[in-house]
Chains A and B, each alone.
Chain A
Amino acid sequence: DTAVSQTPKYLVTQMGNDKSIKCEQNLGHDTMYWYKQDSKKFLKIMFSYNNKELIINETVPNRFSPKSPDKAHLNLHINSLELGDSAVYFCASSQDPSWLSGELFFGEGSRLTVL
């Protein structure tokens, strides 16, 4: 049973297109995240959702929009894709951010390539 699953694993698309990445967690966690990992492996937080409410929104272009239909799902929509959006996008979840363990559980990533 995969704890945090995201689809698709690979996504190749043209500049200007709109795409979505889906994420689901079956851990019963309260908080879900999207991280972006660039070609140099740097992991940067993009969004954080707690119980379907946005609690962190880093300086991410508004072409990126997270959507959380329920506590177990957090999808990422990207409009008007640009070359610089090419990266691996990771979904993650945790218990309440203040939870003692603080552990993040990551999905396997979605590699987005914009041509």
Chain B
Amino acid sequence: QQQVKQSPQSLIVQKGGISIINCAYENTAFDYFPWYQQFPGKGPALLIAIRPDVSEKKEGRFTISFNKSAKQFSLHIMDSQPGDSATYFCAVRGNDMRFGAGTRLTVKP
């Protein structure tokens, strides 16, 4: 069973726009909420991660917003670039890492 629900399935954004991907989870025991980025033919790689004791984390153009009470977290990509085109996975960590279904992001030049 999927422990984290991710949306949208795909996203098309113009260059310079904001990309927003959302995830929702059920289990309050999760203690770590990462986002992974995967390019075609490559393995996923950690992009940014947050712990439940903070509500926001920013690294360059990438921001995670975390809402503990709503059990939701989201990835915001500011000033999206064609090079950001990839599949993005949210994940939750309990005894192991479980991934959302992925969002295919396309940034049009």
Contacts and interface: CB of A to CB of B under 8 A. Distances in A.
Please indicate whether A and B come from the same complex rather than being unrelated chains: yes
Nearest to B101: A42
B interface secondary structure, majority: strand
Interface in A95-111: 97, 101-104, 106-109
A41 B87 contact: yes
Contacts of A48: 96
Contacts of A45: 96-98
Nearest to A97: B96
Nearest to B38: A41
Interface in B5-59: 32, 34, 36, 38, 41-46, 49
Interface residues of B, number: 22
A92 interface: yes
A49 B96 CA distance: 11
Nearest to A102: B32
Interface string B61-103: 0000000000000000000000000010100010111110110
B105 to A, nearest CB: 12
Interface residues of A, number: 22
A106 B34 contact: no
Contacts of A104: 36, 44, 46, 97
Nearest to A43: B99
A109 B89 contact: no
A27 interface: no
A106 B47 CA distance: 13
Contacts of B32: 102
Interface string A21-52: 00000000000010000001111110010000
Contact of B34 (A41, A102, A108): A102
A56 interface: yes
5 contacts: A41-B101, A45-B97, A45-B98, A106-B43, A107-B43
Which 6 A-B residue pairs are closest in the complex by CB-CB distance? A106-B43, A43-B99, A102-B32, A41-B102, A103-B46, A106-B44
